[in-house]
Structure 1
C-alpha cells in the first residue's frame, strides 16, 4: 500500500521540526546563561576579595626608612609611615650592627608609642669615609591589621 501524505502530515512534520529547533535553541540558551552565571559568580568573588583587601589596607601601617642629606655633610635616617593606619609600638633594629646612627638618638626616640599616617621621625646619622654605604634596618610595629609587623629596609647613603 502506497503511503499517502496529506496536508495534516506535512503540518505535523513542520511542527515536529519547529519543536526540535525550539528545543535546541533552549538548550543553547541555557548553556550560555549558565556560563554567564559562572562568570558573574567569579566577578562577585573577585570584587569581594578586592573589597576585603582594601579594607585590610585601611588598617595597615607601612613603614620605611631612608637617609636624607641636610646641607653638605649632615645626614639623617628618616623613618616614616606611608600606610593608611597608625603604627603603634614602633621599634627599630640594626641586624648588621649600627655604626651610623647615634645610639642615644635611638634610645631617646624608640620605641615610639605611635607613628601616625604620613608622620616621620629623623635620627641623627654620623657619616665618615669608612661608613658603609648600604645599611639594613629592621622596623617592627603593631597596627589595626596585625599585632606583629616586620619590614627590612635597605637605606643607602
Structure 2
C-alpha cells in the first residue's frame, strides 16, 4: 500500500492550511473587535454620565461668603453666587451668633428674592478689637435643581 501525492492533494492541503489560518485570523479579529466595542461602550457611558452631570450643574447655584476689607478699617461680608443657576429665596443664618453684622442690615437685604450667576450682595461688617476672627455663616437657598440647599461657610477676618 503506497501513498501517492499528486498535485490535487497538494493543492487541497494548501487550501486547508490557508483556510485554517483565515479562521484563526477571523477569531483573533473578532476578539479584538469585541474588546474595542466594550471599551467604546464604556466611553459612551462615561460621556453620558458627564453630560448628565453637566446638565445638573446648569441647574445648580453655589453660594459662598467671605469678608473683604475696604480701606484701612472698613469690612464687608460678601455673599456671591458662583454657580450656573439663579439662587432664589436666599437666607443667611449665623449658627454661632452674629456680632459683626447689624440686624437691620440683615432684615433689609434678606431674604433675598434672587441672586443671579456671578451676582453678589455685600453687608456692612462692624469689626472691632474684640471681634472674633472666624465666623460661621449658613447660607440657605432654592434653585432649579433642589428646593432646599444649604451650605456652611467659614469666613475669616
TM-score band, normalised by shorter chain: over 0.9
1:71 corresponding residue in structure 2: 71
Structure 1: 5+ residue stretches without partners: none
Give the Cα separation in 2 of the matches to 1:56 and 1:143: 11
Alpha-carbon separation, structure 2, partners of 1:116 and 1:21:
67
Q: Following TM superposition, where does structure 1 have runs of at least 4 consecutive aligned residues deviating by more than 3 angstroms?
A: none
Aligned to 2:138: 138
What CA distance in whole angstroms lies between the structure 2 residues aligned with 1:141 and 1:73? Answer: 31
Question: C-alpha offsets along residues 118-140 of structure 1, whole Å, 9 cap, x if unaligned?
Answer: 11111111111111111111111
The residue correspondences of 1:49-128 to structure 2 (distance < 5 A) are 49-128=49-128
Q: Which TM-score applies when normalising by structure 2? A: 0.96
Tell me the distance in 1 between the aligned counterparts of 2:10 and 2:57: 70
The number of residues matched between the two structures is: 157
Q: How far did 1:2 drift?
A: 2.0
Helix, strand or coil: the match of 1:121?
strand
Provide the alpha-carbon RMSD of the alignment.
Answer: 0.9
Structure 2 unaligned spans of 5+: none
Question: Shift of the alpha carbon at 1:96?
Answer: 1.3
Say whether 1:22 aligns with 2:5: no
CA drift of 1:79 comes to 0.4
